[in-house]
Amino acid sequence: MAYDDRADSLSEVEQRNRLPTLFEVLSRRTLAPVDLFSFYIYMRDQQRSVDYLDFWLDVSQHMSLCRHYVRELRRSVLVATPELEKAGSKHSSTVLENLENLGDIPLGEAGPSGNRNGKDEEKDADQRLSAFLRSEGRSSPQGSVDSQSSGRPSSDRPPRPSFQTSPERNNTNSPGHTVARADIRASAEKILYTYLIPGSEREIILPEEMVNSIINMVEDEGRDDPEVFDSAKDYVFQAMERDAFPGFLQAKALGNLVPLSIVARLALALASFGGGFWAAWYVLLRDKPRHIRCWVILPFAIAAYFIVSYQYKIDPIMALAGFSEYTFMNWAQIQEPYVRRLLNKRAVVTLLITAFVAAALSVLYIFVPGTML
């Protein structure tokens, strides 16, 4: 099954005759240099807003954690069905009935809640999943953290918990579970206290009403289902799609250089132009023969190469060799087929421009009559 999914993914990449969408990048359906790793580095080094991407990924991981928990719970309950029927447990029967009503729970990447990559059935499944987790949290004696305290309002909770230690795995129907109900609660609280609480370690800027609503659902209502973060996740996705992703495609699909390398090429171009013009005027004013003047082609060619590379943010030789720069002087192979073709075309054009500029400057100083000062 895993092999078939991998083959389908590779086939989709090969057939895609366009630039990828942000959802495809976040879903790990793309290859370098427009993969999730490259987008992460771009958000960290150029946009300086990697916290938004980390938030989106953590919320997606929270969704995956909830899905795995429910699938494992269903499997353990179905295995133990004969014992449950003998025991006649009303709570267990209710859990079994709710699990059966869930249907199949997908394990793929979760997209924006408003449109799960165009799949309405996946959106419905996620809504049923959240509803089940809410009902289980209300019916389970351990379903809500601190809700079992003796009449204390939820707003009087002790200080925020620490996430350096793993939560106790004692809230599942099966001792063999790899995901416990407490893990889901801890994951929701970690997202809240890391990104959303004002003054938190990696606070992201969201509308105040949205943040207050999430704080109320997690702290006061004791919710930890995925729908808690849907509005914030959609907001962050749309912000990245609008503000960061076009620049990412511009940098990685139309070029193969990082900003520091681009600036370095401008410096090299200016230095080469300075040397080229000095040599050109020297041989011209000293009336050197043409076979000596031809040496000015070398500095002009280097200067033209670097100035065109700076202007178009692409190293044509490295692009034709199939490499893209993801950090300064660190290169990775270009694996996305469409991006490879696009960069090859741009590399050929930039080489032609380089040749034209170098030839024009060289001819100007080679064939112009010289004078002896």
Going residue by residue through the chain, which has 373 residues, state the pLDDT in tens, using 9 for 90 and above. Answer: 444 444 455 566 767 899 999 999 999 999 999 999 999 999 999 999 999 999 999 999 999 999 888 888 878 766 655 554 545 555 555 555 555 555 555 545 555 654 454 455 566 667 777 777 777 765 554 443 343 333 333 334 334 433 333 334 444 444 455 888 899 999 999 999 999 999 998 999 999 999 999 999 999 999 998 899 999 999 999 999 999 999 999 999 999 999 999 999 999 999 999 999 999 888 888 888 888 888 999 999 999 999 999 999 999 999 999 999 999 999 999 999 999 999 999 999 999 999 999 999 998 888 877 676 5
Write out the two tokens for 23. Answer: 């959802």
Residue 114, amino acid = G
Tens-digit pLDDT profile for residues 258-268:
999 999 999 99
Residue pair 229/237 in contact by the 8 Å Cβ criterion: no
52: buried, middle or exposed (CB in 10 Å: 19+, 13-18, 0-12)? buried
Distance, in Å, from the CA atom of 342 to the CA atom of 142, rounded to the nearest integer, reads: 56
Distance, in Å, from the CA atom of 354 to the CA atom of 78, rounded to the nearest integer, reads: 69
Q: Give every CB contact of residue 11 below 8 A, 6+ residues apart in sequence.
A: none
Q: Is the backbone peptide bond immediately before 33 cis, with ω within 30 degrees of 0?
A: yes
Distance, in Å, from the CA atom of 124 to the CA atom of 101, rounded to the nearest integer, reads: 12
Write out the two tokens for 258. Answer: 């990082």
Count of other CB atoms within 10 angstroms of residue 172: 18
> What is the domain partition of the chain in residue ranges?
2-245, 259-367
Residue 19, amino acid = L
Q: How close are the terminal C-alpha atoms of the chain, in Å?
A: 81
Q: What SS3 string covers the chain? A: CHHHHHHHHHHHHHHCCCCCCHHHHHCCCCCCCCCHHHHHHHHHHHHCCHHHHHHHHHHHHHHHHHHHHHHHHHHHHHHCHHHHHHHCCHHHHHHHHHHHHHCCCCCCCCCCCCCCCCCHHHHHHHHHHHHHHHHHHHHCCCCCCCCCCCCCCHHHCCCCCCCCCCCCCCCCCCCCCCCCHHHHHHHHHHHHHHHHCCCCCCCCCCCHHHHHHHHHHHHHCCCCCHHHHHHHHHHHHHHHHHHHHHHHHHHHCCCCCCHHHHHHHHHHHHHHHHHHHHHHHHHHHCCCCHHHHHHHHHHHHHHHHHHHHHHHCCCHHHHHHCEEEEECCEEEECCCHHHHHHHHHHHHHHHHHHHHHHHHHHHHHHHCCCCCC
Q: What is the pLDDT of residue 135?
A: 75
Give Cα 105 distance to the centre of its chain: 24
Which has the closest alpha carbon to 367: 300, 299, 304, 283?
Answer: 283
Which has the closest alpha carbon to 245: 17, 9, 25, 29?
Answer: 25
| pTM value > 0.85 | no
